Amino acid sequence: MSRVRGAFTLFELLLVLLLIVISYGLFAQNFSINSPENESIKIDKLNLYLAKIGGEKSRVSLRCIDNCNECRVLINGKDMNMTLDIFENGAVNAYYYDGKRLEKAEFDDYHVNEYKKEKVCFRMDVYPNGSSDKLVLEYKNRVYLFENYAEEGRVFESVANAQDFLEKQQLEARGR
């Protein structure tokens, strides 16, 4: 006499459920739509991107090492093991504006661990209130000006044009 099955056994149901959970754990994290890592990063919006990652209560630092081939994200001084691919090659120049002129930026070394440190070729810090240093970045025949508060960076054709713009701003602020 043959026996007809009418339902799944408990073991079969648990096995299917286990496979679904494992599949979700392995693949669902790769399909996160709003994850900051999945967004393309435009250089002129770099400060806004960093502010978004950190939120309103965190200081976010971007440290680019290895001739600017690797950029690491730190939140409140802690390395988040998150790297961003921003620059394609090491031809990056950064300048700070001191209120009078642009000066080539020098950055402290980044301590990867207690035994290894790397030379930093670019650094940007965004503070909890959305402010940052006034920074000029020269990359691929474009010049980007990041002003003190989180707004989209201005784009110029040369460092001289950026300096002229900053000098005009300074004169206007003094009322001349």
DSSP states of the chain as a string? ------S--HHHHHHHHHHHHHHHHHHGGGG-SS-GGGSPPPGGGHHHHHHHHHGGG--EEEEEETTTTEEEEEETTEEEEEEE---SSS-EEEEEE-SS-EEE---PPEESSSS-EE--SEEEEE-TTSBB--EEEEETTEEEEE-SBSSPPEEESSHHHHHHHHHHHHHHHHT-
Select from 164, 125, 160 the least CA-distant residue to 146.
125
- Asked whether residue 159 carries a pLDDT value surpassing 60, the answer given is yes
Distances (CA, A) of 79 to 59, 135, 160: 12, 22, 35
pLDDT score, position 151 = 74
Q: Mean of the per-residue pLDDT values for the chain?
A: 82
pLDDT score, position 40 = 63
pLDDT score, position 158 = 92
- Domain coordinates of the chain in residue numbers? 42-174
Q: The pTM is what?
A: 0.70
Q: Is the dihedral of CA 59, 108, 145, 41 positive or negative?
A: negative
Q: Compute the average pLDDT of residues 43-54.
A: 85
Give Cα 20 to chain centroid, integer Å.
34
- Asked whether residue 156 carries a pLDDT value surpassing 90, the answer given is yes
Residue entry with tokens 């754990």:
25
pLDDT score, position 160 = 92
Q: Compute the average pLDDT of residues 140-164.
A: 86
User: Which is higher by pLDDT, 48 or 31?
Assistant: 48
85: tokens are 């691919």
Report the CATH number of the 42-174 domain. Answer: 3.55.40
pLDDT score, position 36 = 47
Q: Per residue in 59-108, pLDDT tens?
A: 999 998 888 888 889 999 888 888 888 887 767 899 988 878 889 999 88
Burial 68-80 (b: 16+ CB within 10 A, else e): beebbbbbeeebe
pLDDT score, position 44 = 85
pLDDT score, position 56 = 79
User: Which is higher by pLDDT, 176 or 101?
Assistant: 101
